Chains A and B, each alone.
Chain A
Amino acid sequence: MQSSENIVRKAVKKYGKGRENLLPILQMVRKENNYLSEDQLREIATEMDLSAADVYGVATFYSFMDMQPKGKNIIRICKTITCFMKGKDSIVTALEDALGIKMGETTPDRKFSLLEANCIGWCHKGPAMLINDKVYVELTPEKAIQALEEYR
């Protein structure tokens, strides 16, 4: 695990060993592979002189700290009521068909993971989704599928 050790060290070096830096460190390490492995959590614990259970507890608290291997690109579709009212289900169906996976799954080529999220703050322009940090609003099934092309 040479590479993961590097990213952990890099993150701890960048932010410092203080406990208050744990969240930015977890975020940076997560970003490398789009998830946090248990090995990485142990390394972070060692580097920061915390217990592994403590670090695990923090990481698992936050829904964006994915703890299972994920695709290179993470799609998060807003499932809150206003996006639902504007046709979120049809977007989910279109994406599931286009990607050949079900909600919560990752494509076999590890390019995409399809997830739901609570309100992402675009209710007036629903249905909305995030692909990584980028926002897509006023989705139609066609627009949603088109958005995938940017990441193929």
Chain B
Amino acid sequence: MVMTRDEKLAKINAHQERVNLIFEKIDTLRLMEKVLTLDNNKILEYIKESGLKGRGGAGFPTYLKWKLAADQKSDVKYVICNADEGEPGTFKDRKILEEQAEKVFTGMAICAKVIGASLGYIYLRGEYNFLVPLLVTKMNVFNDDMKKFGFNFTIDLRSGSGAYICGEETALIESMEGYRGEARNKPPYPAEKGYLGKPTVINNVETLVYCTMIVLNEGKKFKNFGTEISTGSKVFSVSGDADVEGIYELELGMTIQEFVDLFGDGDTKAVQVGGASGFCVPRKKFKETIIGFEGVPTGGSMMLFNSSRSMYHILMNYMEFMQEESCGQCTPCRVGCQQLVKGIQAIKHKKRPASYLDELVKLAKTMRVASKCGLGQSVANPFISIVENFREEIIY
């Protein structure tokens, strides 16, 4: 069953239209007016019922985050929108911010009402600085609107400066507080002790828009999509050897095979799900692998590779990325990333035997348990999934 590109596009668009939550045009002001009359518990209930999990990649239940922050006794709390989208192969938040900034702000305001925050920040990656004028203009309008509603909530914007690790929520807080973006130990979680020591909810751009839509639809629609474990839909960033590339909102729970049929170029040998910190799925596992928390979880990065690509090259690219972006504070990640890069180079150049690869896999597994934050812990994901499925390409 080979489809032409037009047939694929038609199918993808039909799929998108059926879901259509993130990019649907809505009247955010009218929604905010309504939200301000709602009971906080009711809003929390909507979010809980929806089963929404964070869309940045880690997949923490949004309800729990909000509830934890709401339960904290503090006069000062913060809402932060994590717009530090830096995972290789991810670019959906850029489009969401460009086209649906009001829905992002509204999600922040809803969260602020629920937890009792009066200040919100957007932490925007430096690479997206071209969005600043647009966002500031829209933000000022939104802030004025909130004032008119008599709702004490203001949003401000902060820019990053090219550090991938600052997408990790505790590193983001460190960065916002004027420090090196080095992750903290958890607990305490930011919801208990976050920005400037105050309870802070940090949500990804897309998560906030889903919150807006879940409240708009009173908990309905969103949970009609997806599976029991991965409810709802997700915005995917599709790139690589694909007939159709770009940003698409799709239901969770489809298999990689279904995905590849829609987007691939007919010769897909592997899909990297979740970027440089995600998992590589080889062709033989396309049918059994579900895109979602029960299979391969993802922040939405889907990179397709056809049979002309060297998996060694791809692995090296990811490992060099991790080596550069490791913040360096904990030894397993700092030294581990360097040794993985050196190690696969040494094997390729026959300076080490093929069996050395097994040692490197052990190192990656150690990094998974011994690293301080998600960056170091996740290096094992691409490393092991590529090495185990494409061993001969790494060695020869």
Residue numbers of A with Cβ under 8 A of B are: 18-24, 26-27, 57-58, 61-65, 79-82, 84-85, 117-126, 130, 133-135
Decide yes or no: A121 and B321 within 8 Å by CB, A23-B161, A57-B180, A63-B161 being known contacts.
no
* B317 pairs with A81, CB closer than 8 A: yes
* B127 pairs with A61, CB closer than 8 A: no
Residue of B nearest to A21 (CB): B178
Chain B contact residues (Cβ within 8 angstroms of A): what range?
35 or more
Give the chain A neighbours of B129 by CB distance below 8 A: 133
* A123 pairs with B163, CB closer than 8 A: no
Residue of B nearest to A116 (CB): B324
User: 27 A-B Cβ contacts within 8 A?
Assistant: A18-B178, A20-B177, A22-B179, A23-B158, A23-B159, A23-B178, A24-B158, A27-B161, A57-B180, A61-B163, A61-B327, A63-B161, A80-B89, A81-B313, A82-B239, A85-B309, A118-B88, A118-B321, A118-B325, A119-B321, A121-B86, A123-B239, A123-B245, A124-B239, A124-B247, A125-B245, A135-B130
**Most chain A CB atoms below 10 A, which of B128, B182, B327:** B128
Residue numbers of B with Cβ under 8 A of A are: 85-91, 94, 125-130, 132, 158-164, 175-182, 196, 237-241, 245-247, 275-276, 303, 309, 313-314, 317-318, 321, 324-325, 327
* A27 pairs with B159, CB closer than 8 A: yes
| Nearest-Cβ distance from residue A16 to partner chain B, whole angstroms | 11
* B317 pairs with A80, CB closer than 8 A: yes
Give the chain A neighbours of B163 by CB distance below 8 A: 61-63
**Most chain B CB atoms below 10 A, which of A22, A84, A117, A121:** A121
Residue of B nearest to A65 (CB): B161
Contact partner, A63, options B162, B177, B238, B240, Cβ 8 Å: B162
| Nearest-Cβ distance from residue A109 to partner chain B, whole angstroms | 25
* B89 pairs with A119, CB closer than 8 A: yes
* B85 pairs with A20, CB closer than 8 A: no
* B237 pairs with A124, CB closer than 8 A: yes
Give the chain B neighbours of A134 by CB distance below 8 A: 130
| Nearest-Cβ distance from residue B222 to partner chain A, whole angstroms | 26
Residue of B nearest to A30 (CB): B161
Give the chain A neighbours of B238 by CB distance below 8 A: 124
Residue of A nearest to B302 (CB): A123
Give the chain A neighbours of B247 by CB distance below 8 A: 124
Decide yes or no: A82 and B240 within 8 Å by CB, A23-B158, A124-B91 being known contacts.
yes
* B91 pairs with A123, CB closer than 8 A: yes
Q: Give the docked Cα–Cα distance between A79 and B239 (Å).
A: 14
| Nearest-Cβ distance from residue A40 to partner chain B, whole angstroms | 15
Give the chain A neighbours of B90 by CB distance below 8 A: 119, 121, 123
Give the chain A neighbours of B309 by CB distance below 8 A: 85
Give the chain B neighbours of A18 by CB distance below 8 A: 178
| Nearest-Cβ distance from residue B195 to partner chain A, whole angstroms | 8
The 4 closest A-B CB pairs, nearest first, are A22-B178, A123-B239, A62-B161, A64-B162
* A80 pairs with B321, CB closer than 8 A: yes
* A61 pairs with B180, CB closer than 8 A: yes
Give the chain B neighbours of A27 by CB distance below 8 A: 159, 161
| Nearest-Cβ distance from residue A68 to partner chain B, whole angstroms | 15
Give the chain B neighbours of A65 by CB distance below 8 A: 161-162
Q: Give the docked Cα–Cα distance between A63 and B164 (Å).
A: 10
